[in-house]
Structure 1
């Protein structure tokens, strides 16, 4: 007798097999269910109350049918015996019918009211949770995160969960309890009529099971493809100006078109056979077919004296409710699947890694405002796909000096500058101010100010934009900051002055917006200043005024400036040359003449200057 054994090669092949789609789908469903449970915790009690009320409402739905049967029996007995109708009995059952129907409707509305309040509460809780999380995530995360994903989470996904919270607990429970209660009652009336009421149900369930096969995986894939289309749409809209400027379709447009076409092909291939099978299933529950079966066969039972006409009419009405209940149940199952994927995305957003908070209870005395980078490294992303942007960088910015950070595009200059502003923490090494790591400074942004290429103004008044870093600043302080930024006269010439809302027909140019951002930095009065090519996106007419404002702002501060123009580089106290994430040279202009990286950059900037002239 021989025993089969697996060779190392067989084991290797076994481990190298592609993942089982069914197992992946099950794992995805479990992850969605966990996310949904986590997300619904704040309103779990209210949803339970809504379901209990829905059960009560579903059971109450039986009593109007009981009343109808008894009223019918009283009327038929009077007709068959030729006697007067028992008005008291009829009126008693009519009162029971009206009261129970009204009570069922009232309980149902209360249940929906409870779940809708739960939906409002949950939406507020999710938004508050995300806002609080986003307030603590690294600022660099916002530039690297797909804007389509964030938009879908904050708008679409919260909206998707509405159906699950506000309607599904009540309607889904009703879709189960009410048909079951009514079918039980139909069997109580007569077991044969009960069978007639559900005669076509097995055929419908079979057809629907066939159409629903693989529905979970397809739904998840559809949701993912919609996310891709959304992200590509945002990318395309963001670059629409470039597309128009060059008069041709760009790469972003092609990406969006390809994503939309792929979604169309996928959805058409999936839905066409599903519609055919679904139509077949619905034909088994068509009203004419149900009436033919129940009334036709029921008439035979009435003719043979087995049941009464009232019994047949009541069970026929019950049979007509089953399609509606099943349709509601199917819709609830679909909502559950869609909401699960949405919940997982929201939970992922809510669990975005955050920057550790500084311990505000520990006092930190700064010896100075000297900035030190000590063997700092930083990479975008994690794992094997991480991109090393800054590698083992060390330098010092002496207090009260101006340091120019120069290098070719993509060399890591902006990354170094944003690490000083703690847009993110370095993967290794330390950045400190006066001997204290910046991660330990809770008031970092009162010590470090920055003016970036993009003015980053909000759609609020100019006064509020300037005082954003010091909300309690007086009007005189705001005016002085605007004067130091060379923008006071232009603001006061506006129809509403400092009350003008930026972006709402304010008529401000890019250079004026940049000077408002400089005024904001002046008002904060931080001892350390980061200037990231602050004049790169401004018009030549504004450039001189911005340079004057920056000179006023930089006076007496520790300044790190990213600049390319030779005249700016020559006038600084220190120049740091960066190439491919490394610091390759540090010194003054005269000391770096022989450095090949610096000479190459100086040549390029000099050539650019001649071209501008």
Structure 2
């Protein structure tokens, strides 16, 4: 099973907090860089939000004047000035309508910016991933891509589409209304914000270190998730070998560590934040404002309309604070998503100097090739000074113990990555300079790699312009035609969705794909390793037709395959140990030992 290292135990909390703060700053920078293409649109959205927030004051002004008109009429026992009332009502409705219109336009601009940025990011990712080495697409990295495209881009949606407008309104509107409350009467203004300083102090206390804690929480959750995937993925193996308790322990310990961290963090936070939230409760705000306002009305300092207006303003302040707090949290989460997106967009790509050439013949030369997995201190040498030649029209087998570098050699010929040193040439031309390399190099791997499309499209993946008859002929040559036609939907069957194809059948579809492309150089990487004996026989028949007159690089272990090739390359620890025919290598100790072990292994399998 793949293991994922948990954070080091015993790291000082101060150092961890420092790392978290640095990570938080890096997230913020990544978010700023990511939003740069739509920054002008977001600025326009914020400016319109300011206009909308200022217009929100007008209805309160109108309500105060209407209240004064009605109160004056009541005190004087005179008639209500209907014209003045309707004039202020028209002003109220016009301001309210205009505010909604400006708010709608602001949201429209930011939502269009969100759509534009999402489209831009997906295009950048497509272009980037079209240039990264195919070796990069491991299960882990493919999961990162899927998460980025589906989850992380969605995470920053709220930050782009809503926060510039709602966040700005949440700041400007309460401030503007508070200013107006002080314009009405400075004492009523103080009552409107009386509980806010206390709330601010409580929240400042509870939010202390929130950024660092959020980063730590994200890290610890990632460890829990990784341990869970590791445990679930390997549950069959660990149960078979009676290691359930051992395998479960890593997941349990990481979950308990997260639980303890979260409990210690949230318990005091909840107490303080609950106290702070109670200071903005509606009953308390009404008690302070209406109670204090009634006392001022009783002494003739203000009118009832003034008290009602400032009380309504006081009720809107908590809403603005809540939106602002949610916006801060969204920014924190979006920053982590932006960093992950930025990391993917900066994935190293295959070198391309723009030189293009056509190979002259189909000899393949490995010239002092070296390759390393990873970089820096974690780098692992995979190939060291590998040199040998595949002659045109011959079959060359790569043999060696597991982990010796055979599949890496095959992958470099298919240019799943470039070597760090040396060169691979096809027909005298470096494979990095060959235009449309996969017209010249085909491959059938241990994993057939069939996407969830129709079987017809799977076979025609390398030649989309192939005719129906050509597709059927390729399937016939791969010994899979009859089995495809026996399916309810035939060639229209979608692989993985409405098909129950075996591993051997899927492998023969991959062979049909290679037959249709008909590349002059062919890589076979243990194409029969995971299939049953009957499938192996049919695959061998199909491969016999496929390799005819081609330059073939074969990665295999079965003795009967090894003895029938033109040349054998023995690889050990990433180096070529010997090259020759089966008879030439008969006296080579490493080959003799390998031959005996594989013969014994497959002899037992065939009993």
Task: Spell out the pairing of 1:355-504 with structure 2 (5 A cutoff).
Answer: 355-357=350-352, 359=354, 362-504=355-497
By how many angstroms is 1:258 displaced? 3.8
**Which residue does 1:121 correspond to in 2?**
116
Q: Would the alpha carbon gap of residues 401 and 247 (structure 1) be closer, same or farther in structure 2, given more than 3 Å must change?
A: same
Q: Could you tell me which of 309, 315, 323 is aligned with 1:314?
A: 309
Q: 1:215 matched to which residue of 2?
A: 210
Give the Cα–Cα distance (whole angstroms) in 2 for the partners of residues 75 and 571 of structure 1.
106
Q: How many Å separate the matches in 1 of 2:241 and 2:488?
A: 37
Cα contact 1:148–1:227 (8 A) shared by 2: no
Q: Secondary structure at the match of 1:282?
A: helix
Give the equivalent residue in structure 2 for 1:8. none
**Alignment partner, residue 195 of structure 2:** 200
Structure 2 counterparts to residues 238-257 of structure 1, below 5 A: 238-242=233-237, 249=244, 254-257=249-252
In the TM superposition, 1:501-580 aligns within 5 A as 501-580=494-573
- Deviation, 1:23, is 5.0
C-alpha distance 147-268 of structure 1, shift in aligned 2 (>3 A): farther
1:122, distance to aligned residue in structure 2 (A): 1.8
Cα gap change, 1:448/1:429 in structure 2, threshold over 3 Å: closer, same or farther?
A: same
Q: 2:318: which partner in 1?
A: 323
2:583 match: 590
- Greater displacement, 313-322 / 505-514: 505-514
Cα deviation digits, residues 31-51 of structure 1 (max 9, x gap): 222211221123222212221
Partner of 2:107: 112
Q: Secondary structure at the match of 1:374?
A: strand
Give the whole-Å Cα distance in 2 for the aligned partners of 1:260 and 1:110. Answer: 46
What 5-or-longer segments of structure 2 have no aligned partner? 1-11
Partner in structure 1 of residue 155 of structure 2: 160
Is the 1:492–1:498 contact (alpha carbons within 8 Å) kept by the matching residues of 2? Answer: yes
Local SS of the residue matching 1:584: strand
2:254 to 255, 259, 262: 259
Distance of 1:363 and 1:381 partners within structure 2? 28
Structure 2 partner of 1:607: 600
Q: CA 1:19/1:528 → structure 2, altered by over 3 Å: closer, same or farther?
A: farther
Larger mean Cα displacement after TM superposition, 432-441 or 96-105? 96-105
Q: CA 1:406–1:233 in structure 2 vs 1: closer, same or farther (change >3 Å)? A: same
Choose from 136, 141, 157 the match for 2:131.
Answer: 136
Match of 2:274 in 1: 279
RMSD: 2.0
Deviation digits for residues 223-244 of structure 1, max 9, x if unmatched?
Answer: 2223333444444454355456
- State how far apart, in whole Å, the 1-side matches of 2:17 and 2:506 are: 55
- Tell me how far 1:515 sits from its aligned partner: 0.6
DSSP-derived class of the 1:592 partner: coil
State the 1:519 CA deviation. 0.6
Matches within 5 A, 1:328-339: 328-339=323-334
- Pick closer, same or farther for the CA change 1:556–1:257 going to 2, 3 Å: farther
1:303 aligns with 2:298: yes
Counterparts of 1:23 and 1:293 in 2: how far apart (Å)?
43
Say whether residues 1:172 and 2:157 are aligned partners.
no
Aligned partner of 1:340 among 312, 317, 335: 335
**Secondary structure of the structure 2 residue equivalent to 1:278:** helix
Aligned 8 A contact 1:378 1:391 in 2: yes
CA separation in 2, counterparts of 1:506 and 1:299? Answer: 77
Q: Is contact 2:453-2:495 (8 Å) kept?
A: yes
Instruction: Give the drift of 1:441.
Output: 1.2
Residue 28 of structure 2, aligned match among 33, 36, 48: 33
Residues of 1 paired with 2:229 and 2:154: CA distance? 19
The count of aligned residue pairs is 595
For 1:454 and 1:385, the matched residues in 2 are separated by 27
The answer to whether the 8 Å contact 1:36/1:344 transfers is yes
Q: Which runs of 5+ in 1 are unaligned?
A: 1-16
Alpha-carbon distance between aligned partners in 2 of 1:497 and 1:45, rounded to the nearest angstrom: 53
| TM-score of the two chains, using structure 1 as the length reference | 0.93
**TM-score, with normalisation over the residues of structure 2?**
0.94
- Alignment partner of 2:81 out of 67, 77, 86: 86
Shift of 1:554: 0.6
Greater mean deviation of Cα atoms: 117-126 or 573-582: 117-126
Q: Please show how residues 47-58 of structure 1 align to structure 2 within 5 Å.
A: 47-58=42-53
- Aligned partners of 1:345, 1:255: CA distance in 2, in Å? 26
Q: CA deviation at 1:363?
A: 4.9
Q: Which residue of 2 aligns with 1:185?
A: 180
In structure 2, C-alpha distance between the alignment counterparts of 1:595 and 1:539, rounded to whole Å: 32
- What SS class does the counterpart of residue 42 from structure 2 fall into? helix
Choose which of 91, 98, 117 in structure 1 pairs with 2:93.
98
Q: Deviations over 1:489-514 (max 9, x none)?
A: 22222222211211223232211111
Cα deviation digits, residues 370-415 of structure 1 (max 9, x gap) = 1111111111100011011111111111111111101111111111
